[in-house]
Each structure stands twice: as C-alpha cells, then as structure tokens.
Chains A and B, each alone.
Chain A
C-alpha cells in the first residue's frame, strides 16, 4: 500500500517569526519639544508651533506666550509684527483644529489660547479664516480638505464667544494696548483697528453668515449670541459702560472711549445706550 504514493518533490515554507498584523494604525509623528529648548525668543516659539507639537508641548508654548513678555525678549502677541502674525496664523489654522476640542474640556489651556487671541491681530486673523471657511462650505465641489470645514467654523465661533464673553473685554484690550504699544501712533492705530472690528458690525455679520452656512449643512446647534443684533449691541453697550467707568481719567483714554462711542452708532442699534446707562447706575 505504501508503494501507491511516491513523493515527487519536497518544498519547505519559511514562516516569519511573528505574524504581521492585518491592519496597521498610522499615527502622525508628533514631536515633543526637547526639555532643553527654553523658548526664549519668538522665533523659537514659532518654530516649535510649526513642528506639529504634541499636547504637552502646545501647553508649554501657550504658557510662554501668555507669560510676562520680559521672558521672551519683550515680545507680545498684542503688538503687531511679522512673527506675531505668523504665530497667530499657526495657532488658528493648525493648533485650533488639532487641539481645541481637547482644550475646551480641560479649561486652563483653553483660557490661555483665548487669551493669546484676545487682541486686534487675533480677531482679524480669526475673521479672515472664517471668511475662507465660509467660502469653502459654499462650494459645491469641496476643495481637498481632510476635515469638514463646518467643524472648524464651529470651533472658531466657540472661540469668538469666549473672547467676547466678558463685559470687561474692551477694557482689558485697551489696557493691553496701553501697556504693550511701542509709541502713541501705534497705540492709536491698534485701538482704531479694534474699534473698527467690534463696532462696525463686521463680527456680527460674519458670525451670522457662518451660522447660516452651518444651518444649511444640517447642523442642529443653537446659534451663537454673536449673530443676534440685540444681544451683540447689549454686550457692546455694557463694554462701553465699563470702559468709560474705569478709564475716563486722562485725555488719551477719553479720546479712545469717544472713538468707540462714535463708531458704535453705525451699528444701527440704539439699544446699547440705555444698557450703557443702566449699567453705569450700578
């Protein structure tokens, strides 16, 4: 019986020592800032931010940006300049989409990020980015985006709400400008830019347009108060009241306050004035 089956040839199969996995999870390589890099200069901070840092590194960078300017060569995000513009741009286009959802929950780093953007340059950059995202959403054939622009829009509206949530925002921004501006002309120009952004209705109309686009895309979120004229006008009125109460002490501040009073009339809501007065009574 054994003669029936005759071996013709023999082959051996070499097996790999460990079986290779069928699916591999690909992770973006995130760099950790080496401990010895002290982030002493704005250029180092910008390079670190550009290098796709991990969560802990971003937290370190934010702490540096909001710390005493003396520690980073007297640099501050409040003062406009090429490096601060690059840092703000990277924060808005890269850091926020990557980390805002995580920062929102923890609290401290969300506050630091909002503090970095609470100035005229930050607001300007957020508004430019919002305009681009709104245009992207309106296109029928989406441009090569890995993520849905509506998520980015929601994040930016969330950040704008946090920047403006306080009635003392304008007061704080005026104090920051007074401290960090390098000369009186720069001080005037920075304040003028902030007043133009806030009192001209640009933010109101842009956020309203963004909310409209989100609703068209089927989002069921509650629309932001920044898109409602009366709520926005009341917020502006309260800001002006606190600004006047705390700063009507010298000519320079009085001129700044008068400017925002004058510009606010162009918003078209005379509601702010009574709110202003009512708050001033308390």
Chain B
C-alpha cells in the first residue's frame, strides 16, 4: 500500500519542521489515508470480537514509522484521541484502532501519559 521509501523521506523531513507544521501535515496525511483506505470499513455494532484488518494494520505501521521518535506527534495523537479535535478520528472507529495500534508500540504513551 505504501512505498517504504516515501515514509523514510517523511521521517527525515517531519522532525525538521516547526511543531505546528508537523501536526498539520501529520493530521492531513492521517485524514487522507483514512478517507482513501478506511472509507468502506463497516462499523459492526455487535458484541463480537473485532476482525483483524490488513488496511488498519498497514496504516498503523505507517503511522508508527512516522511518529516513533517524535514525542510531539505522539502527544498530538493522544490528545486527538481523547479530546476529539480531529474529525477523521471521530467519524471512524477503524481510524481510532489504527492510531491506538500505532501508539501501543510505545508502552509509555498508553499507560503513563494519557488522561482517563
């Protein structure tokens, strides 16, 4: 789905930008991939275990690559999940799953800093 080389380029470029620019680009990328690849995801309301999805995993991997050494972006994603300030995450459970999966790679983010 995603060319690895392109995420490597973004991994180099994103940290060079100012804080608000990094957040804006990251949010725009997230919004776009959610719209393109998770647009047809059906949200099941039944209480069944959620099925694994290749698209969600791929997006989680990509987001993790982009924010793995970037505390700023991790904090921004945590507050987007908890404060509902990003429409792309509010409209799609699949998107929230991807972001959570990406953040879950770093134990500190999931347990230590996120408000309840």
A and B form one complex: yes
Taking Cβ atoms with an 8 Å cutoff, the residues of A that contact B are 244-245, 248, 254-255, 257-258, 261-262, 265, 270, 273-274, 277-278, 280-282
Interface centre among B10, B12, B25, B36 (most CB of A within 10 A): B25
- Does B12 lie within 8 Å of A254, measured CB to CB? yes
27 chain-A/chain-B pairs, Cβ below 8 angstroms:
A244-B9, A244-B10, A244-B13, A245-B6, A245-B9, A248-B9, A254-B12, A254-B13, A254-B16, A258-B13, A261-B17, A262-B17, A262-B21, A270-B24, A270-B31, A273-B28, A274-B31, A274-B32, A274-B36, A277-B6, A277-B32, A277-B33, A280-B5, A280-B6, A281-B1, A281-B6, A282-B3
B51 at interface by CB-CB < 8 Å: no
- Does B16 lie within 8 Å of A274, measured CB to CB? no
- Does A281 lie within 8 Å of B17, measured CB to CB? no
Q: Find chain A residues with CB under 8 A from B40 CB.
A: none
Interface centre among B1, B3, B33 (most CB of A within 10 A): B3
Task: Place the interface of chain B in its size category.
Answer: 20 to 34
Partner of B13, one of A257, A265, A278, A282: A257
Partner of A280, one of B9, B24, B31: B9
User: Shortest CB–CB separation between residue B67 and chain A, in angstroms?
Assistant: 15
Q: Find chain A residues with CB under 8 A from B3 CB.
A: 280-282
> Contacts A280-B6, A281-B2 known; A248 to B13 CB distance under 8 Å?
yes
B18 at interface by CB-CB < 8 Å: yes
Bound Cα distance A282, B33 (Å): 15
B interface SS class: helix
User: Shortest CB–CB separation between residue A188 and chain B, in angstroms?
Assistant: 15
Bound Cα distance A255, B29 (Å): 21
Q: Find chain A residues with CB under 8 A from B36 CB.
A: 274
- Does A273 lie within 8 Å of B32, measured CB to CB? yes
Q: Find chain A residues with CB under 8 A from B32 CB.
A: 273-274, 277-278
- Does B9 lie within 8 Å of A277, measured CB to CB? no
> Contacts A245-B6, A281-B2 known; A261 to B13 CB distance under 8 Å?
yes
Partner of B12, one of A248, A270, A277: A248
A interface SS class: helix
- Does A274 lie within 8 Å of B9, measured CB to CB? no
Bound Cα distance A277, B3 (Å): 9
- Does B21 lie within 8 Å of A265, measured CB to CB? yes
- Does B13 lie within 8 Å of A262, measured CB to CB? no
Q: Find chain B residues with CB under 8 A from A277 CB.
A: 6, 10, 29, 32-33
Bound Cα distance A54, B107 (Å): 74
Bound Cα distance A245, B32 (Å): 20
Bound Cα distance A265, B24 (Å): 8
Known: A244-B9, A280-B9. 14 other contacts (CB 8 A): A244-B10, A244-B13, A245-B6, A248-B12, A258-B17, A261-B17, A262-B21, A265-B21, A274-B28, A274-B29, A274-B32, A278-B32, A280-B5, A281-B2
Interchain residue pairs A-B with the least CB separation, the first 4: A280-B6, A274-B32, A273-B28, A258-B16
Q: Find chain A residues with CB under 8 A from B21 CB.
A: 261-262, 265
- Does A270 lie within 8 Å of B28, measured CB to CB? yes
- Does B9 lie within 8 Å of A262, measured CB to CB? no
- Does B18 lie within 8 Å of A262, measured CB to CB? yes
Q: Find chain B residues with CB under 8 A from A262 CB.
A: 17-18, 21
